[in-house]
Amino acid sequence: MTYSLTGRGVLLWLGGFFAIIFATNAYFVTMSVKTFRGEDEQLPYLQGINYNHMLAERTEQRALGWKGTVTIVRLPSGSARLQLAIRDAGGRPLEGLVVKGELRHPADENRDRPLAMKAVAPGLYQADIDKIAPGAWDAVLHTEGGAPFEVVQRLWLR
């Protein structure tokens, strides 16, 4: 038995091909919109309004000459310990600061963790984080009250 390809057959094959392409594209667009909304900040409009204030704080921080070093290590218990060492322009540890921040996952904001750092030594602040996955994390730490200080650093946790 032989089959001859007619114009109607070509039209059906062509329609079926494009239907599969459109369905696949619709699936991928739907999944990408559900998993990542495309914004880096929660409130980008307010971030834009406060931009000049942020620039003034960074200028003040540069004038102070404070330096911050952030480290993270995995503890034997499985949790992680994040530490921030803050020193002034002369290299002396800074005490009595209120340090807060966030440990952000670069690809999934649902995995972000708030941090309340506590002073454990002069100029050394730390927070322990339970149930944290290995990989890349961004530490965003800042002081509250007093002189402005902010440090943002990409960390790798094993």
**Domain boundary assignment for the chain:** 7-36, 44-157
User: For residues 152 and 115, is the Cβ–Cβ distance under 8 A?
Assistant: no
Here the tokens at position 6 are 């007619």
What's the whole-number mean pLDDT along residues 65-93? 96
CB within 8 Å of 133: residues ≥ 6 apart: 111, 157
What does the alpha-carbon distance between residue 117 and residue 128 come to, in Å, rounded to a whole number? 9
pLDDT in tens, 86-125: 999 999 999 999 999 999 998 888 899 999 899 999 999 9
Q: Supply the pTM of this predicted model.
A: 0.72
Residue in the structure block whose two tokens are 């943002």: 152
User: For residues 37 and 124, is the Cβ–Cβ distance under 8 A?
Assistant: no
Residue 110 φ then ψ, to 5°: -70, -15
Q: What is the largest CA-CA distance in the chain?
A: 93
Strands 118-121, 124-129: pairing is antiparallel
What does the alpha-carbon distance between residue 50 and residue 137 come to, in Å, rounded to a whole number? 25
pLDDT in tens, 29-63: 999 888 876 666 678 888 889 999 999 999 999 99
Here the tokens at position 21 are 């392409």
Is 2.60.40.10 the CATH number for 44-157?
A: yes
